[in-house]
Chain A
Amino acid sequence: MAAPLTRPAKTPPPRAASPSDGPAAPKSPSGPGARRGQRRAVTLFMVPFFALFTAVTVLPMFYAAWMSLFREESSGLGFGGTERVFAGFGNFTEALTNEAFLRSFGHIAFYCVLYIPAMVGGALVLALLVDSAMARARRFFQIAYFLPHAVPGLIASLIWLYLYTPGLSPITDVLDALGANWNFFGHDEAIYSVVNISAWQWTGYNMIIFYAGLQAVPREVLEAATVDGSGALRTALQVKVPMIRPTVVLTLLFTCVGAIQLFDAPKLVQLRANTMGEDWSPTMFIYTAAFKGHDYGLAAASSLLLALVAGLLSFVVTKLGNRWKAS
Chain B
Amino acid sequence: MPCTNRTTRLALAASAASLALLTTACGGGSGPDASGPGDGGKPVTLTFWSATAGAKETAEAFNKTHPDIKVKFSLVPAGPEGVTKLSNAVKGGNAPDIATMDYSALPEYASEGNLEDLTASSGELVKKEFPEAVQSLVNLGGSTWAVPFDVTPIQLYYRKDLFQKYGVEVPTTWAEYRTAAEKIHRGDPDLTITNFGGGDPALLSGLAWQAGAQWYGTKDDAWKVNIDDPKSQKVAAYWDGLLKDGLASRTPLWGEGETKERATGKVATIIGAAWSAGSFPVSYPDSKGKWGIAPLPTWDGTPSTGMYGGTSYIVPKGSKHTGAAAEFIKWVTTDPQAMTARLSSLKTPSSALPANEGMRAAAAKEFDNSYFGDQDVYKLSGEAAGTIVPGWTWGPVQQQVTSAQMAAGGDHTKMLSAGQTKGESAVTDRGLKLAQ
Rounded to whole angstroms, the CA-CA distance of A317 and B363 in the bound complex is 66
Beta-carbon contact of B407 and A81 below 8 Å? no
Contacts of B140 in A (CB 8 A): 77, 79
Tell me the residues in window 382-423 of chain B with beta carbons closer than 8 Å to chain A beta carbons.
396, 399-400, 403-404, 406-409
What 0/1 readout, one digit per residue, does chain B (207-227) give for beta carbons within 8 Å of chain A?
000000000001001110000
Beta-carbon contact of B430 and A78 below 8 Å? yes
Beta-carbon contact of A187 and B409 below 8 Å? yes
Among B4-12, B274-282, B292-300, B328-336, which stretch is in contact with chain A?
Answer: B4-12
Contacts of A145 in B (CB 8 A): none
Beta-carbon contact of B431 and A74 below 8 Å? yes
What 0/1 readout, one digit per residue, does chain B (252-267) give for beta carbons within 8 Å of chain A?
1001110010000000
Beta-carbon contact of B403 and A288 below 8 Å? yes
Beta-carbon contact of A77 and B218 below 8 Å? yes
If A78-B430, A79-B143 touch, does A168 touch B3 (CB 8 Å cutoff)? no
Rounded to whole angstroms, the CA-CA distance of A302 and B25 in the bound complex is 41
| B113 contacts partner chain A, Cβ-Cβ < 8 Å | yes
Say which size band chain A's interface belongs to: 35 or more
If A6-B1, A263-B1 touch, does A292 touch B431 (CB 8 Å cutoff)? no
What 0/1 readout, one digit per residue, does chain A (52-80) give for beta carbons within 8 Å of chain B?
00001000000000000001111111111
Rounded to whole angstroms, the CA-CA distance of A74 and B113 in the bound complex is 10
Rounded to whole angstroms, the CA-CA distance of A271 and B98 in the bound complex is 29
- The interface on chain B, measured as residues whose beta carbon lies within 8 A of the other chain's beta carbons, has a size of 46
Among A246-254, A272-280, A305-313, which stretch is in contact with chain B?
Answer: A272-280
Contacts of B110 in A (CB 8 A): 78-79
Give the residue name and chain of the A residue nearest to B3 (CB).
Answer: A154
| B37 contacts partner chain A, Cβ-Cβ < 8 Å | no
Beta-carbon contact of A274 and B199 below 8 Å? yes
| A17 contacts partner chain B, Cβ-Cβ < 8 Å | no
| B198 contacts partner chain A, Cβ-Cβ < 8 Å | yes
If A56-B5, A74-B430, A165-B256 touch, does A292 touch B111 (CB 8 Å cutoff)? no
Q: Which residues of B contact A (CB under 8 A)?
A: 1-5, 7-8, 11, 80, 84, 87-88, 110-113, 140-143, 198-199, 218, 221-223, 252, 255-257, 260, 396, 399-400, 403-404, 406-409, 426, 429-433
- Across chains A and B, which 7 residue pairs bring their CB atoms closest together, nearest first? A81-B113, A78-B111, A76-B221, A79-B141, A73-B431, A277-B407, A275-B409
Q: Which residues of A contact B (CB under 8 A)?
A: 1, 3, 6-8, 56, 71-82, 94, 152, 154, 165-168, 187, 263, 272, 274-278, 288, 291-295, 298
- Chain A to chain B contacts (Cβ below 8 Å), 20 pairs: A7-B1, A56-B5, A74-B111, A77-B432, A78-B110, A79-B110, A79-B140, A79-B142, A79-B143, A80-B113, A81-B112, A82-B113, A152-B2, A167-B260, A276-B407, A277-B406, A291-B84, A292-B400, A292-B403, A293-B426
